[in-house]
Amino acid sequence: MKERPRRMAMTLPPETADALFDLADAIERPAATVAQELLTEIVPQLHDLAKIARLTKAGKGSAAKRALVHMIGDSMGEILGQQLDLPTMKRKK
């Protein structure tokens, strides 16, 4: 059975809301859709940040730093790959 999307209520700071509504207006899309798409795009980074936070809380600073460097490297690789129009690679979970 397909999992239903989960809903979440958020209160955004004025500058964040203004930027989101500005982008939504510019691309003629609902602000909630824009927010959902932005968050969906960064799912791998959110998981990476959760891992880094857990390592840090566990006192494993060196491992957290390695995970952060890896995360930044992967992100830069994706950006450069898009700039150079290189084929994308699937992320390991």
List pLDDT tens digits, range 42-52.
998 899 999 99
What's the pLDDT at 82?
77
What's the pLDDT at 24?
96
Compute the distance between CA of residue 31 and CA of residue 41 in angstroms, rounded to an integer: 15
| pLDDT tens by residue, 1-10 | 788 989 999 9
CB atoms within 10 A of CB 85: 6
Cα–Cα distance list, 13 to 2, 18, 19, 47 (Å): 34, 9, 10, 24
Residues of the chain with pLDDT under 70: 88-93
